[in-house]
Chains A and B, each alone.
Chain A
Amino acid sequence: AQTVTQSQPEMSVQEAETVTLSCTYDTSESDYYLFWYKQPPSRQMILVIRQEAYKQQNATENRFSVNFQKAAKSFSLKISDSQLGDAAMYFCAYRSALIANNDMRFGAGTRLTVKP
């Protein structure tokens, strides 16, 4: 079964600085998707960034970028120029590209605090 591990329960960053959140996953599949979701306090979960496993190029979305290492099964999220609004729980998620096994698996989450 696929598992997602986020080894950092909590992280802290100074406003305007850069922070990297770690994620590793375990799978025997070759075709899958990886995601980072953000869940602000008492607000809904929203997608930050996604990566298709077949793409070698790392995904970027404005201040957010990933370091996808397929062989190492690692998928870290880098937040540049951190803002107060980035404070939230961040979840790494995996979804198989196979139809029969298509539910999304989430890591335990990393709580990010942004200090002014």
Chain B
Amino acid sequence: KAGVTQTPRYLIKTRGQQVTLSCSPISGHRSVSWYQQTPGQGLQFLFEYFSETQRNKGNFPGRFSGRQFSNSRSEMNVSTLELGDSALYLCASRKGGPNTGELFFGEGSRLTVL
């Protein structure tokens, strides 16, 4: 069974640009969560999608957005990039619904903003 796949793995952008990251969950998983990981702030929750609906959102500015498609694949977008957006962005999936267990993580997309 294929794991969670994130693309691209690495990318470099400049301030003011926007970026779109993609995540394909494990087959059969309907819930996708996104996390930002930085050395200073650790792992911070961005948002979670289930059946194309945003179920939960973390404390991030509106520049961070996401969506989920009918095949459960998810994308997150960051507009007007700032230097502080440099981070490892992790996607995680689970079967979805309440009380359904642990998250399965992808390898992450490492974003560097210059």
Contacts and interface: CB of A to CB of B under 8 A. Distances in A.
Interface of A: 33, 35, 37, 43-47, 50, 91, 97-109
Given A98-B98, A104-B33, A104-B103, 4 more contacts: A33-B99, A33-B101, A44-B4, A44-B105
B56 A104 contact: no
A97 B3 CA distance: 25
Interface of B: 3-4, 33, 35, 42-43, 45, 48, 55-56, 58, 90, 98-99, 101-108
Contact of B33 (A47, A99, A103): A103
A44 B108 contact: yes
A35 B102 contact: yes
A49 to B, nearest CB: 10
Contacts of A98: 98
Contacts, number: 46
Contact of A102 (B3, B43, B56, B104): B56
| A interface secondary structure, majority | mixed
Contacts of A91: 43
Contacts of B48: 102-103
Contacts of B45: 103-105
B98 A97 contact: yes
A98 B55 CA distance: 12
Nearest to B55: A102
A109 B42 contact: yes
Nearest to B98: A99
A24 B101 CA distance: 20
Contacts of A97: 98-99
A91 to B, nearest CB: 7
